């Protein structure tokens, strides 16, 4: 179950570009989430213009403002900031903007807390995402445990059913010699997960260096 975001503009951006950041077919590092969640009243926020600008061209936005997401701008107030603050600690810089893309299993933006099940997913979007992962340029693909469970419950990702192999701090779920899929902690975690988050950030940062070379 999920609640679509009421903003026509926000939904239109996702219909035209079902991703955030760089074009996922060209990006080298791909982060797969469940759904893109926004405050229900964000359209009335002073940050909304920046949000729309970001969705229009995430790479240009990052290079213009020095942050990878509008939730990190000083005048943004709302949920989602912790996720992007943790993500930023990996060490991404504006010069890396063309390498990084965010995609979601759900095809439209939401509000509130979603409890997604396979029936919520749009078949065309899921096929598009499967093609992005398997035919795109991404060398390193990251999924959290919740994302992995939902992917594995669909027929589209039948190929992602093997056991995982621990490698340093990031379990490798899939490796075809050209791309690897890793399981990681959700970036909103904190507290007792802090040490593991730090190890994973360092590992992803090292992969970023390899992808940039």
Distance, in Å, from the CA atom of 148 to the CA atom of 120, rounded to the nearest integer, reads 15
Going by C-alpha positions, the residue among 159, 150, 158, 160 that lies closest to residue 121 is: 150
C-alpha 9 chain-centroid distance:
20
Residue in the block written with tokens 């729309």: 52
Mean pLDDT, consecutive 10-residue segments, the chain of 213 residues?
Answer: 94 95 97 93 92 96 96 84 86 95 97 92 97 97 94 92 68 92 81 79 81 59
User: What pLDDT does residue 191 have?
Assistant: 66
d(CA 135, CA 138): 8
Q: Give the domain 3-212 fold.
A: Uracil-DNA Glycosylase, subunit E (3.40.470)
DSSP string covering 76-139: --STTHHHHHHHHTT---GGGGGGEEEEESSSS-EES-----GGGS-HHHHHHHHHHHHHSS-S
Neighbour tally for 184: CB within 10 Å: 22
Tokens of 69: 């997401």
Question: pTM of this prediction?
Answer: 0.93
Q: How high is the pLDDT of residue 180?
A: 94
pLDDT at 170: 86
Widest Cα–Cα separation across the chain: 47
Q: What is the pLDDT of residue 80?
A: 76
Q: In terms of Cα–Cα distance, which of 59, 64, 158, 149 is closest to 101?
A: 59
Predicted pLDDT at 51: 95
Which residues is 21 bridged to in the sheet? 101
Query: Quick one: pLDDT at residue 92?
Result: 92
Task: Note whether 59 and 98 are within 8 A (CB).
Answer: yes
- Which of helix, strand or coil describes residue 185? coil
Query: CA-CA distance, 165 to 123, in Å (whole number)?
Result: 29
């Amino acid at each position: 179950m999920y609640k679509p975001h009421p903003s026509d503009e926000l939904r239109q951006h996702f219909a035209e570009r079902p991703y955030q950041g760089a074009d996922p077919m060209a990006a080298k590092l791909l982060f797969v989430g469940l759904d893109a969640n926004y405050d229900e009243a964000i359209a009335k926020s002073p940050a909304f213009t920046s949000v729309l600008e970001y969705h229009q061209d995430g790479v240009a936005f990052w290079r213009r403002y020095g942050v990878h997401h509008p939730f990190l701008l000083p005048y943004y107030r709302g949920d989602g900031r912790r996720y992007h603050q943790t993500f930023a600690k990996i060490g991404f810089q504006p010069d890396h903007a063309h390498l990084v893309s965010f995609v979601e299993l759900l095809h439209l933006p939401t509000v509130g807390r979603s409890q997604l099940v396979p029936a919520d997913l749009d078949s065309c979007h899921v096929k598009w995402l499967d093609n992005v992962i398997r035919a795109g340029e991404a060398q390193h693909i990251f999924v959290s445990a919740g994302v992995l469970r939902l992917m594995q419950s669909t027929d589209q990702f039948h190929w992602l059913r093997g056991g995982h192999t621990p490698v340093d701090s990031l379990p490798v779920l899939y490796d075809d010699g050209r791309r690897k899929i890793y399981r990681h902690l959700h970036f909103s975690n904190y507290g007792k997960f802090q040490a593991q988050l730090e190890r994973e950030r360092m590992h992803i940062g090292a992969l970023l260096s390899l992808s940039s070379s």
